[in-house]
Structure 1
Amino acid sequence: MLRPRTAAAASLLLIPLVAGGFFLQKTPVPATPRLFDQVISLVANRYVDSLQGSAIFEKAAHGLVRELNDPYSELLAPKQNDEFNRSVGGRYGGVGMLLEEQKTTGTTTVVVSRVFPHTPAEDGGVREGDRIIQVDSLPIVDTKIDKVSDALRGIAGTTVKVTFARPGVAEPVKLAFKRAVIHVPAVPFAVMLGDKVGYIPLQTFNENAAEEVEAAAAKLVSDGARGIVLDLRDNGGGIVDQSLAVSSLFLKRGQSIVNVRSRNAPEEVARASGDQLPTQPPMIVLTDGGSASASEIVAGSLQDHDRALVVGTTSFGKGLVQSVFPLDGGYALKISTLLPDGRFVESRPDSLETEAEKRARPKYSSDAGRTVYGGGGITPDLLVPDDTLVTAEQEFLKSIAPKAQSFVTVLNQYAFDLKGSAARTFTVTPAWRTELRRRLGAAGVTIDAKYEPAATRILDRELDRRVARYVLGDAGAKQRALAEDHQLARAVSLLAGASSQEQLFTAAGVTSAASAQRSTSTNQR
């Protein structure tokens, strides 16, 4: 008796399907635009929950892009599109604060982690560690950081009122700022390190990147730099045209930078424009797992033409190039349209490449015959691992993790208080250590004696970094902390003994077969 009941239930399920106009067909019919229209209509009119018309179309568009299975293609909503344009433009109307979202007992707070120089925030006396509690009439209570950023930004010349909670100050700090055009530099500073080695950290490829690299390199060379380090670590890319312009600063006119192919066009070769800097000292490019896209174009092209020694760890491996197309309503579509050809650097997205696969990567030759590798990112000529904390230091940081916000706030505040009294040649003194521990204890950060001496090393290092930035600025702080950055320190030591790019390759042990043959012939004579 069960079988008739089952059949009846099946019939009930089929009725609305047939009534809705669907029926079985022996021959599949290719999908057409009508399929999309039918699905939209049925979801809008029959789905159990109501959806606004605009939401349906946006979800459908997101779904289409998602089904491309391309992690780099995405539909940008209006707010995301604005943020993207600000990031590549390097400018926005605001007050000049870098914000950090922190969690305390389940509540989200927004704290100032950096105050940019020569901005309304610096002029108004904002301090690192200040917590934002109100922007104009908007209370900032368990508020996401993007909402706070949106409230702070606006048209240059307009006024925004911000209320802060400041550690050690009972009453809220109320400040009014006149928004200004804030320039976020691609090169935050450039500095001459030891042995006349110039250092240029390139953080992003925004619309000013090549201009800023050119200015920094020219200034360092005029000041007597014998070698240049271009730091692309943690540079996730940006505007591809800027990567071509940066590469052109160090390559000869006509040298290939990247080969690209698209679906509907033949392969194109982007070549150096001829805007090469007049003086070309030996050069090292630093890369790591955060170096992607435009960074890999620069590092790869300079490596291919033997213009730079690449030092560090393997880059991210993002070989696709995206184009951004503006859409109605403030939306934009970012999709992969170009594929670098030749020495392909795309990594497997699941990061499950085996050691055998790594050894089997395709090998190529640079102009001078040096071996370089394709697939899986840009492989450095000289592998220097990232700096890592020793186990005892890691254990100490884990022990204070529940009080991480208080730990950082106390460090920032104490460094700020020392700003006026610390000499440019300061050292962390026993008195500083005692006062820092007192303040940490008052803030509820307990330091167990079992973590010594690792705890003291961490406290000294973190306080030293913060005081150095206040007293010496970013460039001076980098000089001071050189010994802690093993990759950069290795680059400086290599450049110190090299007067040419070929000597630099020899010092690193990556000379070509041709160079080795010339060296052998010279020794035989």
Structure 2
Amino acid sequence: MLRPRTAAVASLLLIPMVAGGFFLQQAPPRATPRLFDQVLAIVASRYVDSLQSPEVFEKAAKGLVRELNDPYSELFAPRQSEEFNRSTGGRYGGVGMLLEEQKVGAGTSIIVSRIFPHTPAEDGGVHEGDRIMRVDSLPTADAKIDKVSDALRGIPGTSVQVVFQRPRVVEPVKLTFKRAVVHVPAVPYATIIGDRIGYIPLQTFNENTAEEVDAAATKLVGQGARGLVLDLRDNGGGIVEQALAVSSLFLKSGQPIVNVRSRNAPDEVARATSEHLATQPPLVILTDGGTASASEIVAGALQDHDRALVLGTTSFGKGLVQSLFPLDGGYALKITTGKWYTPSGRSIHRERKLLADGRFVETRPDSLETEAEKKARPTYSSDAGRTVYGGGGITPDVIVPDDTLLTTEQEFLRAIAPKAQAFVTVLNQYAFELKGSAPRDFSITPAWRTELRRRLGTAGITIDQKYEPAATRILDRELDRRLSRLVLGDAGARQRSVAEDHQLARAVALLAGARTQEALFAAGRTGASLNAAVKPDHN
């Protein structure tokens, strides 16, 4: 009697099973080029606001690149493409001034903060601290710095008239410049520090970098330098070919510099060429969290081949290869096509994820970096058998943390943060005014401190007594830093500030006692052991 009901239930159960089996055998729905055409047509014809066809195409293309979730891939519009080429090429048509936007009362002013050598601005007598009032017919009051910069740039050989307001000069200064191809230096200066130690700050990798590093190193060795410091801190990279050329200066012909591994192509190995420095003194490379990309290629190659002691903190870890593809209409696509590996096989890249707000963070962030924590990283071997560490970025042979502010100094800076721009403006203007009277061996005087505080008060910046003496230390340091560069130049200012730069001071100390690279490594091992014995203070 129960069999018919049981059979019916079984039949009912069988239907969805068969149906389920049927649907599982169907190919899942897939997006096709027709999907894009359909969405594009509906947006173009039915979206509530009308959009021009070029705008729709650009938005669609940018959306595709954005959905790769790769912070390094980007679609450049024509103007962005020009800016990118200019920033990496190192040359542009202009007058040779670095501009800075400063808060003045309720508005803003555009101030000349630096003048590049051998440019129309230098030849025309522009002063650092001059305020730009007009560029041709463009008044600059409350103008954005990008707009002023664009007005100054143009085709080399064309003319541009600029009106300046100069401190302590009543009448405006009117100058006419003929725009020229401006060379932005990769090495702004090179100098001797301490006991015959050559210092080379390398800011970027543009088309002139290897030539400038070669010239700087040759000059310093000629001046008696018996050791070199190549400062790659805050160098975010640039042209990879220049990183290879800089590495070649310090390596032997044929030594591998970097290995590129891509998805649909065989591995590529870039090797050192025959262009080397005539003299090869002991070398320290400084790195920090701002050392990235092309800079990491240089640091990693010279570390793996035992040609440089790396000192500082672990680099950023941008080990992705970007290729630039020119597109129709002046557009360009910068897209990730591979990864870099050092000669010992270490991946330079440190994995990060892109957040919804546009920031990207490490998937496994480092804690406070110490020698003990460094040893938990994957290990590799240099040519001479020294241990070098992987795990993303270039880990230094000797870890020296960045200089950090005391707690009271941090609290003071947070307190004045709402007035930060006015704070910087007052410091800059006062430094410019002191430039003409300050001796080369100046010290911050009580009278200067009093006047600086008066000016800060006039700008609405009050200093609570509870922040003393931290506030005085910061004011002295910031005024000294600005005035040093104005009075002594970049090289002189660096020589004056070595003691305050703990990483550079350690590099100079290690080089002072080492006549060979091997002796430098031995001194570095001793220094690393001392670092490991000191427990970090987290307070």
Q: TM-score, normalised by structure 1?
A: 0.86
- Once the 2 structures are TM-superposed, how far is the Cα of residue 164 of structure 1 from its aligned partner? 4.8
Please name the residue that 1:229 is paired with: 229
Distance 2:375 2:228 in 1: 31
Q: Which residue of 2 aligns with 1:343?
A: 346
Change (3 A) 1:334 1:479: same
Q: Does residue 215 of the first structure (1) align with residue 215 of the second (2)? A: yes
Asked whether the 8 Å contact 2:288–2:313 carries over to 1, the reply is yes
* Among 471, 485, 497, the residue aligned to 1:469: 485
Counterpart pick for 2:420 among 396, 399, 404: 404
Q: Structure 1 residues 408 and 118, CA, compared in 2 at 3 Å: closer, same or farther?
A: farther
For 1:202 and 1:65, how far apart are their aligned partners in 2?
32
Q: 2 CA distance for matches of 1:116 and 1:440?
A: 30
Secondary structure, aligned partner of 2:71: coil
Aligned partners of 1:170 and 1:443: how far apart in 2? 22
* 8 A Cα contact 1:128 1:412, kept in partner: no
Tell me by how many angstroms 1:30 deviates. Answer: 4.1
1:158 matched residue in structure 2: 158
State how far apart, in whole Å, the 1-side matches of 2:511 and 2:96 are.
Answer: 36
Opposite residue 204 of structure 1, the aligned amino acid is T
Aligned to 1:268: 268
State the partner residue of 1:314. 314
Q: List aligned pairs for 1:168-247, cutoff 5 A.
A: 174-247=174-247
C-alpha distance in structure 1 between counterparts of 2:479 and 2:101, whole Å: 21
Contact 2:252–2:276 (CA under 8 A) maintained in structure 1: yes
Using the alignment, how far apart are the partners of 1:35 and 1:191 within structure 2? 61
**1:482 aligned partner:** 498
> Structure 1: which amino acid aligns with 2:508?
V
Q: Distance in 2 between matches of 1:448 and 1:165?
A: 34
**Aligned-partner Cα distance in 1 for 2:30–2:175:** 63
How far apart in 2 are the matches of 1:354 and 1:326? 35
**Is the aligned partner of 1:375 residue 2:391?**
yes
% identical equivalent positions: 75
CA distance in 2, matches of 1:90, 1:132: 24
- 8 Å contact kept, 1:164–1:172: yes
Q: Alpha carbons of 1:103 and 1:435: their partners in 2 closer, same or farther (altered >3 Å)?
A: closer
Separation (CA, whole Å) in 2 of partners of 1:250 and 1:223: 19
The Cα of 1:340 is off from its aligned counterpart by 1.7
Please, which moves more after superposition, 124-133 or 382-391?
Answer: 124-133
Corresponding residue of 1:302: 302
Tell me which amino acid in the other structure corresponds to 1:190: A
Contact 2:129–2:432 under 8 Å retained in 1: no
Is contact 2:103-2:422 (8 Å) kept? Answer: no
Contact 1:166 1:172 in 2 (8 A): yes
SS at match of 1:195: coil
Q: Give the aligned residue type for 1:321.
A: V
Distance 1:196 1:324, change over 3 A: same
Equivalent residue for 1:84? 84
Superposed CA deviations along residues 453-488 of structure 1, whole A, max 9, x for unmatched, are 222222222222222212211111100111111100
Cα 1:317–1:510 change in 2 (3 A) is farther
CA deviation profile, 1:345-399 (whole Å, cap 9, x unmatched): 2112122416699765321101111111122211111100001122222233333
Partner of 1:282: 282
- Provide the residue aligned with 1:415 in structure 2: 431
- Please list the CA deviations of residues 254-294 of structure 1 after superposition, one character each: whole Å capped at 9, or x if unmatched: 11111112233211111111212121111100000000010
CA contact 1:129–1:409 (8 Å) conserved in 2: no
User: Equivalents in 2 of 1:510, 1:51: separation in Å?
Assistant: 66
Q: 2 CA distance for matches of 1:208 and 1:450?
A: 50
Contact between 1:370 and 1:510, CA under 8 Å: does it hold in 2? no
Q: Note if contact 1:132-1:164 (Cα within 8 Å) is conserved in structure 2.
A: yes
Change (3 A) 1:44 1:226: same
- Residue 359 to residue 27, structure 1, CA distance change in 2 (3 Å): same
Give the C-alpha shift of residue 186 in structure 1: 0.4
The one-letter amino acid of 1:196's match is R
CA distance in 2, matches of 1:370, 1:92: 44
CA change 1:458–1:210 in 2 (3 A) is same
Deviation at 1:156, TM superposition (A): 2.2
Q: Distance in 2 between matches of 1:441 and 1:126?
A: 30
CA distance in 1, matches of 2:348, 2:95: 39
Q: What is the CA–CA distance in structure 2 between the aligned matches of 1:438 and 1:355, rounded to whole Å?
A: 43
Q: 1:393 aligns with which of 409, 413, 416?
A: 409
Change (3 A) 1:214 1:279: same
Offset at residue 169 of structure 1 (A): 7.0
Q: Distance in 1 between matches of 2:451 and 2:142?
A: 32
Q: Deviations over 1:408-430 (max 9, x none)?
A: 22322232233233222222223
Please tell me whether the aligned partners of residues 370 and 511 of structure 1 are also in contact (alpha carbons under 8 angstroms).
no
Structure 1 equivalent of residue 364 of structure 2: 353
- Summarize the Cα distance change of 1:63–1:102 in structure 2 as closer, same or farther, 3 Å threshold: farther
SS of residue paired to 1:266? coil
Gaps of 5+ in 1: 1-24, 513-525
Q: Which residue in the other structure is 2:18 paired with?
A: none
CA contact (8 A) 1:345 1:378 kept: yes
Higher mean alpha-carbon deviation, 317-326 vs 125-134, is at 125-134
Residues of 2 paired with 1:289 and 1:217: CA distance? 25
C-alpha spacing 1:53/1:449, structure 2 compared with 1 (3 Å): same
- Letter aligned with residue 343 of structure 1: R
Q: What number of residue pairs does the alignment pair up?
A: 488
Q: What code does the residue aligned with 1:375 have? A: G
Q: What one-letter code is carried by the residue in structure 2 that aligns with 1:364?
A: Y
Q: Which stretches in structure 2 are left out of the alignment for 5+ residues?
A: 1-24, 353-360, 368-372, 529-539
Q: CA RMSD in A?
A: 2.7
Q: Compared with structure 1, are the counterparts of its residues 166 and 419 closer, same or farther at alpha carbon in structure 2 (3 Å cutoff)?
A: closer
Q: Do the aligned partners of residues 414 and 105 (structure 1) sit closer, same or farther apart at CA in structure 2, a change above 3 Å counting?
A: closer
Q: Which moved more, 1:219-228 or 1:452-461?
A: 452-461
Q: Distance in 2 between matches of 1:140 and 1:54?
A: 32
What secondary structure does 1:336 align onto? strand
Cα distance per residue 1:223-259 (max 9 Å; x no partner): 1111000000000000111100000000111111111
- Alpha-carbon spacing, 1:207–1:314, altered in 2? closer, same or farther (3 Å): same
Paired with 2:73 and 2:120, the residues of 1 have a C-alpha distance of: 36
Classify the secondary structure of the residue corresponding to 1:428: coil
Say whether the 8 Å CA contact 1:261–1:338 is kept in structure 2: yes
1-side partners of 2:258 and 2:188: how far apart? 27
Q: Determine if contact 2:98/2:114 at 8 Å carries over to the other structure.
A: yes
Preserved CA contact (<8 Å) 1:134 1:140: yes
